[in-house]
Amino acid sequence: MCGIVGIVGRADVAPHIVDALKRLEYRGYDSAGVATISDGALGRRRAEGKLVNLERRLADEPLDGTIGIGHTRWATHGVPNEANAHPHFSGDVAVVHNGIIENFAELRAALIADGFEFHSQTDTEVIAHLITRELKAGKDPVSAAHASLRVLRGAFALAIMFRGDEDLIIGARNGPPLAVGHGEGEMYLGSDAIALAPFTNAITYLEDGDWAVLRRSGVEIFDIEGSPVSRRRQQSLGTAYMVDKGNYRHFMEKEIYEQPEVVSHTLANYLDFANSKVKEFSLPFDFAKLDRLYVSACGTAYLAGLVGKYWIERYARLPVDIDIASEFRYRELPITKNSAALFISQSGETADTLASLRYCRSEGLPIGAIVNVRESTIARESDAVFPTLAGPEIGVASTKAFTCQLSVLAALAVRAAVARGTVDAAQEAQLVRELSEAPGLAHQVLKLASQIERLARDLSQYKHVLYLGRDTNFPLAMEGALKLKEISYIHAEGYAAGELKHGPIALIDEKMPVIVIAPHDRIFEKTVSNMQEVAARGGKIILITDAKGAAESTVDTLATIVVPDVPEIISPIIYALPIQLLAYYTAVFIGTDVDQPRNLAKSVTVE
Ligand code: F6R
């Protein structure tokens, strides 16, 4: 989603702002802009599309100035064009904004009635005009910004600067994340620590309702009432990682190949492989005393949660209610006694997941969160954090975060089973040993890449694809379809294989390949029957299975991808890899922007 950068520096800042914006590209955007103040004048350059367009504008018409703000915009109000790109100006005020101002229509009407002219369709422009109105009423810049913040409703992160004060940037946070970076005689604002990594790793995260006054000498932070608040300065982990593609064509490819390593780090965080036991990591509840666990997340994280439901119910006999977070937050469910909530999010900033978390908090539930970004809001607002050790995930399509989320969920399922006495010590040891095989098996599966790449060439010719699976392979079927559609723009749907004959079978013909995820498990034969139903109607089957499944399947396939034999508990982690590779290579053949697919954002901070 939108990215924000601000610098009060000592040398010209525009090139540094663009560098920082590049590090926010992974969040997804469709236009970008930068503004500076130089010799008492505001200047700005904006461009539709990728940052390279903005760089071209800046090369033609450079911007001087040692103070500036920049933005990558993911359109919400108004199409992605130059006029709607940030920064927005009003009189002496320049603003960049991430989020949505919910009362913008009424504010806009009032400002128009007061004689303000609007030059964009954005909700952001009302903020600039509101501040100008306060300045005209005689307030100084800091008080004008504060007064304006008090009338805004909705979710926003802001950076504001003022012609006439070249030593002042105001940042504000109410929802989307915002970090202050501390430099030597320079100060920075950024949507996250990754953006600021080239400048500093001394970071202060603003909390909801905070606003900050940045000058070269330092920062003062206030709450919405205007009282000073103290926020911890910390060393960011963001700088510890090199965020580049290495020898890979895309971040997504790199992240797929990182999975053996990051899954191994993540599992090792929760499992004691030496003693074949689950570790005693801290929990905000006692699994033995729970009657129900509420799980909520969005997109790929939700599908990880759905796999988790199968595991936790199967191994720990604990009922799990799972919801898409945007539904959970409004469905007014009756919370049962002795329950707890678990949220799953790579970014830790997803607005709907965060809102669901806050709902559960208001209901008094203990809260755990599986997150990848340790310093994120969801992590900070949870009673216990179960980190995925995936490292920064830059490709918009989630890959390594998904398998790391599965790794944590598997470990939690075993931990719950031990606590509830549904597995004994020998079974615990067996499950832990099986989980320890995941990294090695993932590594073996990656060797199938060239076969999958050849198959992807065929798949790229189709317009529609169906994915089928049973049990934990049902969420995987949905994940395969999500991955394919989001990066290749081929229409794809994932179904529980048993649901086929309740509707989707009507779609089957020779133009509809059906990808079946079916290891040779206890329900393999049921899935074979579903494949026969597809074959009988001319459907082309791509079967992802193991050697036994390939030998025993009686159905002709377009292709069979044979994955090594895997223990049942790690099957979703391992089978995730071929479906990711298939989506990836298909998108590469089609020639889409794999790492930043159209219309998508990495961190979805609006509902
Ligand atoms: C799909 C994808 C999205 C995210 C979803 C939740 O590849 O990446 O569906 O999984 O937007 O994001 P997080 O995990 O950051 O809450």
Helix or strand (DSSP H, E) at 545: strand 540-545
State mean pLDDT over 382-393: 94
**Known active-site residue 2:** yes
| Least confident stretch, 21-25, 47-51, 88-92 | 21-25
Q: Are 197 and 156 in contact (CB under 8 A)?
A: no
**Which of the four pLDDT bands, split at 50, 70 and 90, describes residue 176?**
confident
Does ligand 1 have an atom closer than 6 angstroms to the CB of 398? yes
* 240 has a pLDDT exceeding 50: no
> From ligand 1's centre to the CA of 367, what distance in Å?
20
* 332 has a pLDDT exceeding 90: no
> From ligand 1's centre to the CA of 596, what distance in Å?
13
Task: Give the pLDDT of residue 238.
Answer: 54
Q: Are 47 and 85 in contact (CB under 8 A)?
A: yes
Does ligand 1 have an atom closer than 6 angstroms to the CB of 350? yes
**Which of the four pLDDT bands, split at 50, 70 and 90, describes residue 28?**
confident
Does ligand 1 have an atom closer than 6 angstroms to the CB of 486? yes
Task: State the Cα–Cα distance between residues 467 and 334, nearest whole angstrom.
Answer: 34
Q: CA quadruple 359, 361, 363, 366: dihedral positive or negative?
A: positive
Task: List the one residue out of 194, 224, 183, 218 whose CA is nearest residue 3.
Answer: 194
Task: Give the pLDDT of residue 244.
Answer: 61
Cβ neighbourhood burial of 97 (10 Å; 0-12, 13-18, 19+): buried
Q: CA quadruple 99, 349, 390, 203: dihedral positive or negative?
A: positive
> From ligand 1's centre to the CA of 298, what distance in Å?
6
595: number of Cβ within 10 Å? 23
State mean pLDDT over 172-198: 91
Peptide bond connecting 439 to the previous residue in cis, omega within 30 degrees of 0: no
State mean pLDDT over 8-36: 92
pTM above 0.85, yes or no: no
Task: Give the pLDDT of residue 241.
Answer: 47
* 155 has a pLDDT exceeding 70: yes
**Structural domains of the chain sorted by starting position, each given as residue range(s) with its CATH number in brackets:** 3-241 (3.60.20.10), 246-436 (3.40.50.10490), 446-596 (3.40.50.10490)
> From ligand 1's centre to the CA of 357, what distance in Å?
16
> From ligand 1's centre to the CA of 401, what distance in Å?
9
217-237 pLDDT tens trace = 999 999 999 999 999 998 876
- Given 400, 485, 540, 602, the catalytic residue: 602
Does ligand 1 have an atom closer than 6 angstroms to the CB of 346? yes
- Given 2, 298, 360, 404, the catalytic residue: 2
State mean pLDDT over 84-95: 97
Q: Are 364 and 380 in contact (CB under 8 A)?
A: no
Q: Are 356 and 325 in contact (CB under 8 A)?
A: yes
Helix or strand (DSSP H, E) at 42: strand 41-48
State mean pLDDT over 532-540: 89
3-state secondary structure 151-184: CCCEEEEEEEEECCEEEEEEEEEECCCCEEEECC
Task: Give the pLDDT of residue 402.
Answer: 98
Does ligand 1 have an atom closer than 6 angstroms to the CB of 397? yes
Does ligand 1 have an atom closer than 6 angstroms to the CB of 347? yes
Task: State the Cα–Cα distance between residues 29 and 197, nearest whole angstrom.
Answer: 20
Going by alpha carbons, the residue nearest to atom 11 of ligand 1 is 299
Task: State the Cα–Cα distance between residues 593 and 245, nearest whole angstrom.
Answer: 15
Does ligand 1 have an atom closer than 6 angstroms to the CB of 298? yes
Mutate to test the pocket of ligand 1, among 306, 347, 388, 402 (most ligand atoms within 8 A of CB): 347
Q: Are 558 and 532 in contact (CB under 8 A)?
A: no
> From ligand 1's centre to the CA of 299, what distance in Å?
5
- DSSP letter at 228 equals B
Does ligand 1 have an atom closer than 6 angstroms to the CB of 393? no
Q: Is 369 helix (H, G, I), strand (E, B) or coil?
A: strand
